Amino acid sequence: MFQVRVFAVLLLMVLACSACTFPPQTSGVYAPGSRALVRVDYDFDRDGRIDVRTYMREGRPVRLEGDSNGDGLIDRWEYYGASGELLRIGGSSGGNGLEDTWVRTAGDERHVEISTRRDRIVDRLEVYRADRLVRIESDTNRDGLPDMWEAFTDGSLTELLLDDDKRYGRPTRRLVYGPGGTARVEILDKEDGHASR
């Protein structure tokens, strides 16, 4: 299965490169004193810059790095598990070779982890179902705990939960949005996150 995925990514990169000359220039790197292949580099357009670099362990890919627009900077990373399954895909939102966004699937959901300050520390999680945003969790003070939760229905914000003290990792206030712009505010118990009576 992983061979099919790697081949599919390589094929897409070849097709995306309109000026490519076939076959691509390929080189391999082997472990010192061994015949074990540890990296394969592909230069599809033969411009002297690597377009895809695949890191290998025991004959299977563990990480793939790609330059999809030919600017010489890596803008896509793929990480594979022990069985060859795709674990997550990384991206560079700024297009400057810094990995700051990661996508993984979890059942019928797609999770997008974002480092908003582009320092590889995830402080925002977006959850999608059927390509529709359903939830966002944010760590606005970067203490490792979420302090803002947003819920969406059919593309509209329906609930906003806040940890006003920004130290509990649990909501202390809930705003519920209804039709026509109505809103209801609830103060929540800091211990269990339920509405206070």
**Per DSSP, what are the bridge partners of residue 138?**
124, 148
For residues 151 and 176, the answer to whether their CB atoms sit within 8 Å is no
pLDDT at res. 1: 39
Q: How far is CA 132 from CA 46, 60, 139, in A?
A: 39, 34, 22
Global pTM value: 0.78
Domain ranges, ordered by start, for the chain:
1-95, 100-197
pLDDT at res. 139: 96
pLDDT at res. 195: 65
Instruction: Per residue of the chain (197 residues), give pLDDT as tens.
Output: 334 444 445 444 544 554 455 678 999 999 999 889 999 999 998 888 999 999 999 989 999 999 988 898 999 999 999 999 999 999 998 888 999 999 999 899 999 999 999 999 999 999 999 999 999 999 999 999 999 999 999 999 999 999 988 877 899 999 999 988 899 999 998 665 566 54
162: part of which helix (H) or strand (E)?
strand 156-162
Radius of gyration of the chain (CA): 22
Bond preceding residue 171 cis, omega within 30 of 0: no
What residues have CB less than 8 Å from 86, skipping those under 6 apart? 2, 5, 78, 79, 80
134 — alpha (psi -120 to 50), left (phi > 0) or beta? Answer: alpha
pLDDT at res. 193: 58
How do beta strands 173-177 and 156-162 pair? antiparallel
Question: For the chain, what percentages of helix, strand and coil (3-state, to nearest 5) are there?
Answer: 10, 45, 45
